[in-house]
Each structure stands twice: as C-alpha cells, then as structure tokens.
Structure 1
Amino acid sequence: MRNKSGVQYAASKYIEFTVNKPMSLLDFIMESMKGISRNKAKDILTGHGITVDRKSVSQYNYELRPGMVVRVSKHKRNNELKNKYVKIVYEDKDLIVIEKSAGILSMPAVTQQFSIKTVLDEYFTRRHFKCTAHVVHRLDRDTSGLMMYAKNIEVQ
C-alpha cells in the first residue's frame, strides 16, 4: 500500500521507500522520514535497522541509486547488553567503554572462561558486528571501574 508521497508500508514490520535520486543513505533517511533527528537516524543505522535491497546496511555514507528499495524497521532491536557485571557507558564504531563490577575478569585466563571479553564478544555477535573485543587495559577481578576495549587490533 502506498500513500501520496510514494511511501510504501510493508507488513507492519518496515516502512519501505524507493530511491528517486542518487544520495547518501543518511541524507535519504533524514529526507524520507521527515522530522527525524540526525542522531536518531544514526542510531537506526548503527542498530542495523536499515536494509537496502534486502541487505543490512549500517554505513552513513552508503551511496544510493535510483530504484533501490530502502526498508526501515519499525521495531527497536533488543540487542542491549544485559549483564550484572558489565554496563556500557560509551560505544562507537572503534571503541566501547564499559563499567566493570567487582568479581569478573577483564580477560579470560583460559579459553571460554567467563570474562568481560567473552561478554562483549557475545554482545557483538548478537548485534551482528564483525569484530571482537581487544582489551586496552586491565583491572583486577576484585576491582570495579571503567574499562576501554577496542573493536579492532589497529585501534588497540
């Protein structure tokens, strides 16, 4: 079903748009979804809530061509980190800063041992990020505080 502005509403899960002119994905989202803030548009992209021709895209500068179909998910993904030992304080494409509780290792001493690194790696996998946590510094098991992890070896 299409409305007067050419927006197609697909089976209540997505809002679907057809690209009419070349432009970046972020600019297209902001133009198509009138009233959405730049930060909200970036959050949708970061949360993998956008598909272009049925492929998930999270790049802000992804170049769109006329005829491409962009779908925006109406539902917020439940990919938040829920862990009693770890709270995310800051995250971007290269880094993640967490608040570590006492009682958990920063890095596993042996393979598959419960640690901040394993919690973050599971979180990245659940969010379909192609990265792993690389510890920038460590805190003792019984110490709480802020910790920084890189999402790639170059940033580490």
Structure 2
Amino acid sequence: MTQEINLKSEISATQTGLRLDQAVAELFPDYSRTRIKEWILSGAVYVDGVAVTKPREKVLESQIIEIEATLEEEVSAQAEAIDLDIVYEDDHILVINKPAGLVVHPGAGNADGTLMNALLHHCPDIEHVPRAGIVHRLDKDTTGLMVVAKTVEAQTHLVAALQAREITREYEAIVLGTMTAGGTVDAPIGRHPTKRTHMAVHHSGRPSVTHYRVAEKFRAHTRVRLRLETGRTHQIRVHMAHIGHVLVGDPVYGGRPKPPKGASPEFFEILKGFNRQALHAVKLELVHPVTLEVMSWQAPIPEDMVLLTKALRKDTEEHPLEYL
C-alpha cells in the first residue's frame, strides 16, 4: 500500500541556521532521518515553493517547508541475480536500458524481482546509497535508459541536476490520432482526485512541461519524439492524453486499440496485442557528476515498437488516398 504525504510547516526563529535535514526532522518528528534525507535527495522537499535537494542547505526563519511524497510500505530489498542491460558503468554511475515488465522499486505486491534487487546484487555497496542509487524512475512497462548513482555524492549531484533541468531525457512514443505538428504541453500534474493510481492535469498539481515533435504520421496514429523538462509521475502519458493523443496500449489512460477503417485483420491483431504503453526512453544526456564530462547515450527502439511501426507503415501504404 502507498500513502500520499503532504506536509507543510514554517521555520521558527530557533531553527534559523539549522541544516535542512535537521530542521525537517524537528518539524516532522514522526518520520526518520533516513526517510527525510531520501525525500530531500529525491526533490520532494520544497523551501518557499522551490525543491531543495541538498540536506546541508541552511534554513531561515519564516521559510515555508513543504513535503510532497509517496510513503510506500517498507520493504527490505534483497540482492537478486537479475540480468541487467548495462549501457555504461564506472565507479560513480551506471546507465541501464530497462526492459518492459521490470518494476523499479520493491513495494506491495512487488517485494522482489525489481531493478533495486538487481542493483544490490550487481553492486553490493549501493545499499549505502538512498534508494539504491536510483535517481529517476521509469514506469514498469516503459522501456529505455535510466541512470543510477553508485555513491551518495553522485546521487546528490544527479538529483540536483535533474531538478535544475540539466539532464536531457528524450522519449519515443506512438499515440492515437494524427498530429498536425509538434508543440509543448505546459500543464500542472497532480494525483487524480478520485482514482488513487492515476495522475491528472490539475490546477493544484506541480508544474509539468513536455515538448514533442512529429516523427512520422500514419493513417490514424503518430510516432512522436518527446523531451521532458520536468519528471512527474506518468508525465508523458498524462500530457498526451490531455491533448487527445493517448499512447497506444496505455492500460491506465485509455489507449485501447482503435484500428482505422478498412484495416486488415493482421494489423488489428498486432494493434490489439500491443499490451503496454508504447513509450521508450531513447536518449539520455548529462554532465558526469565527478569528471564533469558531457555524456550521451541512445537505446535502440525495442522490438515490439519496431514491429508496431512497421505494421502502421504497411497499413498507411495500403490506404494512400486516406492518408493524403
């Protein structure tokens, strides 16, 4: 089970000059120092509305402290020998190409078989890093590139870079409907007011920005490239649904198969058989937290999305007048 945590308090005169982690621990004594540090590093703690990811940052009287986090059931993760597709590794960071079906963190119903379990086996010392070094998440059925920090110092640097929008994350997706042009979705995202597992565009949500461009048009679908400025839960899926272009196969936001008129039975079967959101983290670019070198990686499009794209092209070729 998970619980949404929304806390708010004000720094008192006696707390002026304390480190952020110390002040937050005093303000919210029900939560452990370890959990508070994890929240700070993950960007869930806000000072006067700005995410602060440095536990040692000093606080001042009258500053408003807010915490927006998900409190997950405590699970003691164990090391497991799970194969990882490692794209890059050194003493400080690890970049992986995550397959569909791999859950990132253990939780209720997923106590093992997760990326965290795999990381603890591959790099045992990572147990000393909050969240086993995981800097950002991908949904269970989203594929592609993720960076993991192997030290606390690397994680602190990468989380700060992520919050400062200094890490480039590009995705490829296939959506329902034919887009005419690219654009930007600038719409706040928060927890859905009635559906606990859903996110939604909501006026009280956190600022969320997604840029997209058309890569290829089909009869009734579009292949798009997207770049995130922010990293909210389900951001691309929610933003695309918000503008009327749900991701193909999305089980949460309504990407059910909708073959165009006259589609062949073979094409319909491929579309119906695509049972995950058609979303892949194709590019990751960042400044290395220690060497300060600009590094960039790309992950090939997974086979299921390649096959879907080929089927969409064939369907379009078979109905050229409709496409035009």
Normalising by structure 1, what TM-score? Answer: 0.49
- Please identify which structure carries the higher helix content: 2
User: Under a length normalisation based on structure 2, what TM-score does the superposition of the two structures give?
Assistant: 0.26
* Higher RCO (C-alpha 8 Å, min separation 6): 1
Structure number with bigger Rg: 2
